[in-house]
Amino acid sequence: MSTEARLLSRRALAGYGLAGYGLAGCGLAGLAAATILPRPALAQGKAAPVRIGLMLPYSGTFAQLGENITTAFELYLAERGGTLGGRPVTIIKLDDQSDPAAAPQNVNRLLSRDKADVLVGTVHSGVVMALVQASREKGVPLIIPNAGNVAASRELCAESVFRSSFTNWQPAYGMGRALAATGVKRAAWVTWDYAAGKEAGDGFRDGLKAGGAELTQTLALPFPETNFQPILAQLPGLGVEAVGAFFAGGGAVQFVRDYAAAGLREKLPLCGSGFLTEGTLAAQGAAAEGIRTALHYGDGLELPRNTAFRKAFREKAGREADVYAVQGYDAAQLLAVGLDAVKGDVEADKPLFAAMRGARIDSPRGAFTLSAGRSPVQNIYLREAKAGQNRVIGVAAEALADPGTGCKLA
Ligand code: PHB
């Protein structure tokens, strides 16, 4: 079905007050019955809450990431008095446990059982594919507040699929370029063996290449395992000058600690996509000191929007904000742009999506716009971990867009 046809059919269902039921399982009998119903739904619908399904990890290695996204999403809603586009908002939370196998069923629950009008999720690049598929099939607006799976902004891009985050390629590309600029010629990549780790490795490779250096080896272990010893034992024999890594959450804490404990820090400088040290520095302690990473956010960004956001987040959560919190906040800002434009009529797909596509988000990371693949065009900062902070020490890549290969949208 073409996107246009999908959007039309979703709107047609909305006219009968059936939008929340999705297309699946909506047989002829259901439609026939619907035609004889009175249609108070639209008038009432404006005052009824917009139902936002948050599908995120609230347990497992990415639990803290899901919590920070949620807290900051709710923070923005509270700043808006709990309404977007003039309608109250109801949030439904679902713990996806970063489990790709359970993802289709979880998405279905949010759409069919919980009648979500909008989907926001998730963290894990494998799990997000079920959300992308549902959004493409049903035309339900989706905002990805983390998962960097490149397909969502490339061959699987769609008018209904947005992200407030990054693609896995972006930060790692910046890191590869910054590392090559220091004169390193050969580097290795260490990661979990799943889409995010692989795609970040591609970015690191491309960044190194742009600076005249080479990615010579990739070593990986299954997600979310943390037995790093076999990999750490191999690194000194690879003939490389530096090691780049993609890990996040609890796994990143463990990897950075184990790397230092193995005595590798002095022999092989460790760098990576910024998630390696993001929201993890307190737990990593001295093991993280001096590690350079690249990310679309960093500590000490002196932007009024950032200062205000960090203060508000600290007051609400009792802890410091990080990139995950920023992405959650910006997911809510992006949705607000869309819903404000259609005065809360979430079924008005075309103007809703057009407003979101054209948004300029005043983010704590610095303002960003969206690429044709509906993914942020943003600065990738070079950071260095010092005294518990990821201090910005430069810009690794300015206004960087994902290549968007295979995305046919404008
Ligand atoms: C991903 O799976 O895309 C992912 C997970 C955690 C991160 C970043 C990316 O911190």
Position in ligand 1 atom list of the atom nearest CA 199: 3
Ligand 1 centre and the CA of 124: distance in Å?
A: 5
Position in ligand 1 atom list of the atom nearest CA 249: 10
pLDDT tens for 329-346 read: 999 999 999 999 999 999
pLDDT tens for 151-185 read: 999 999 999 999 999 999 999 999 999 999 999 99
Question: What's the mean pLDDT in 183-210?
Answer: 98
Ligand 1 centre and the CA of 376: distance in Å?
A: 16
Residue 290 zone, left/alpha/beta (φ > 0; ψ -120 to 50; rest): left
- Report the nearest-CA residue for atom 7 of ligand 1: 248
Residue 359 has pLDDT above 70, yes or no: yes
- Specify the pLDDT at position 47: 76
Ligand 1 centre and the CA of 150: distance in Å?
A: 11
Ligand 1 centre and the CA of 245: distance in Å?
A: 12
Rounded Cα gap, residues 93 and 295, in angstroms: 27
Ligand 1 centre and the CA of 277: distance in Å?
A: 13
pLDDT tens for 262-282 read: 999 999 999 999 999 999 999
Q: Mean pLDDT of all residues in the chain?
A: 90
Tell which one of 124, 132, 144, 380 to mutate to probe ligand 1, the residue whose CB is within 8 A of the most ligand atoms.
124
Pocket lined around ligand 1, Cβ cut-off 6 Å: 62, 123-125, 146-149, 168, 196, 248, 275
Ligand 1 centre and the CA of 354: distance in Å?
A: 27
